[in-house]
Structure 1
Amino acid sequence: MIPRTEQEEVFREPPKDSCHIVLASNIAESSLTLPSVCAVVDLALRRTIQYDTRRLMCCLVTTWCSQSSCKQRVGRAGRTMPGRAVCLVPRRFFETQMPLFDPPEMLSAPLTKLYLQAKQLCSTLEASQEKVQLPPEVHMDV
């Protein structure tokens, strides 16, 4: 992991006659604006958590990103100064092999944590409902 002080270097103005170059990843798809970015180099890859049915566990895997992700990454260049973006995949590959959009995260994300949180929340709600005093039936619209 990169130390926080090193991570914060990206927000500092570069020396005169210099600019920042971003090697694009999923983070380049966020709304983060980095000052003085004049170039984005996109490898069209992303790291995602996927469930491996062979290993029966979640793994961090590198896959091709979608066309829409590449287009979003382009937006990191030229926000505060003139800029350029380069996607390092052949145009034909981009147009024919890369999906238009990323699949919904619900299809690949591990649902165990979500399930456990929902179960805990439901248990908490059920317990608190026992303490709630209901209004008289004549006031309830059933």
Structure 2
Amino acid sequence: MASTRQAGRRTPRREYVEATHTSVVVAGILVAVGGWSGLIWLLSNTLPTVPNRWVFYALLQIALTGTALPFVRFLNQRFSRERGLFLRPGVLVRQATWVGLFGTTCAWLRIPRLLSVPLAIVIALALIAIEALLRLRERAAWRPE
């Protein structure tokens, strides 16, 4: 009975984290809309010259990062300890940036036809390993509160 009462109560920490995570997700949606509209404009109105390719990669990175941000927040809230209560918003942005970097790298390797499924898996595993080591370092850091 006591656990159901505690589960229904909102602590100030939980309200703060939910508010910051919500603002990060809203910002991610706005960034995604800007990135995808920029990509649509770029693909429909320009020729594929070298500077436009760099703009394509930058807009693709922005669009994929913004698109991945709500999903990253959902996965962290669903599968992490304490329902993501102690997760800083910067971690959400960093993890979404890894998704954008993976997509941009795959697009970059696709142009000279160098991308293969094993290479994409190796790149994904490398990015996952980097994120796991960063999360391990953050968890091991001592923060007096």
Instruction: Give the alignment's TM-score, normalised by structure 1.
Output: 0.27
Larger relative contact order (C-alpha < 8 A, sep ≥ 6)?
Answer: 2
**Whose helix proportion is higher, 1 or 2?**
2
TM-score with structure 2 length normalisation?
0.27
